Structure 1
Amino acid sequence: MEEKKKSGKPEDKPKVIIKTPYDFQRLKLEKLMKNPEKPVVIPAGSKEKKTPHVPEFVRNVMGSSAGAGSGEFHVYRHLRRKEYARQKHIQEKSEKELLDEEFERKIQESRQAFEDKTAKKRAKRMKKKQKMKNKPKKLKTGDEEKDNEDNSGDESKSEEENSDKDDDNERKDDKQEEEET
């Protein structure tokens, strides 16, 4: 008996009868929670509304007046409603495409601006690095080190002020570009 329980055959599992939607939901959740590491696939539903096909060539053309018979007027109204829905769908689709193109263009522009800014800063860093490499090294004595430390502190402060000014100027330029667009 114990061997059968360990084998894990489907016969060992109790059969569950689903009577309500609540039971169905509970079983689904229990199944999901048995293995939380397993990825859950959620299909993306298509939100695009499909409109019924409107014939391009209508053989029996009728007007909006109901003189010929009220039945024909209902047919006319139905075709007109379909046509309006089709044109509305086409218009919404074109607006969506325009918005998507505009969004993609803005993303490209911002990405390009970011890359340009990064390249400029990289060039500045490389230039500074080259300058430091080319600078001859001097052996310092005790008195010269103290003087250089005092001077280097002043220089670093002025460099920080200059970099702050550069950052402020870049922010102003970015704001002006955003206002222009």
Structure 2
Amino acid sequence: MSEPGPESVPTSADPRSKRPTKRRAVTPHSEHATQIDTLFKDPSKEIKLPGAPRAHTSSSLAPPPEIVANVQGSSAGAGSGEFHVYKASRRREYERLRLMQAEVDKEKNNADWEKQREEAKRKDDEKTEKNRRRREKKRAARGGNKDSGKPSMDVDKPSTKGPKPPSRAIDQTADGGEGHQPAEEVPGVIIHEDD
């Protein structure tokens, strides 16, 4: 350490120093503020954001060598540089095996999940069908929907309750026969078929 005196070289922390003090971000807030200030110094500069990290798979690793000329054990070349070569190759192989096992486990979990989902869907469909049969049986036992006070949900059948459609008077001709009915507009959809 240097002694405090005029002959010692002042540092930026020393009040006698003429050098600017180094600004260090001490909190996450101040660090973030410093980064934003740096970005705003040159707004025209393009900002490059890092891409999303890629998932490591066994296919993303370098393939193992096809021909291994010098096969060695864990004690071969101990104490020399060859031991580190062995350790590196072993680490690569273990990583490759771990990734392959992870892929197999993931496929197995996906298959199990699909099986459980199909089973739950089948049970839901069975319960829905059972409830539908029970509702139909109950409806048939009370004679359709005529006895209940609830209106029918069938849109094809005209409703027996509610406002009645306007009655159309039939014109009688002088000879007592029936004439044609006066045309009234009935609200609804008119479908024209093209022949």
TM-score bucket (shorter structure): 0.3 to 0.5
Could you say which structure has the larger radius of gyration?
2
TM-score (norm 2): 0.43
- Structure having greater relative contact order (Cα 8 Å, sep ≥ 6): 1
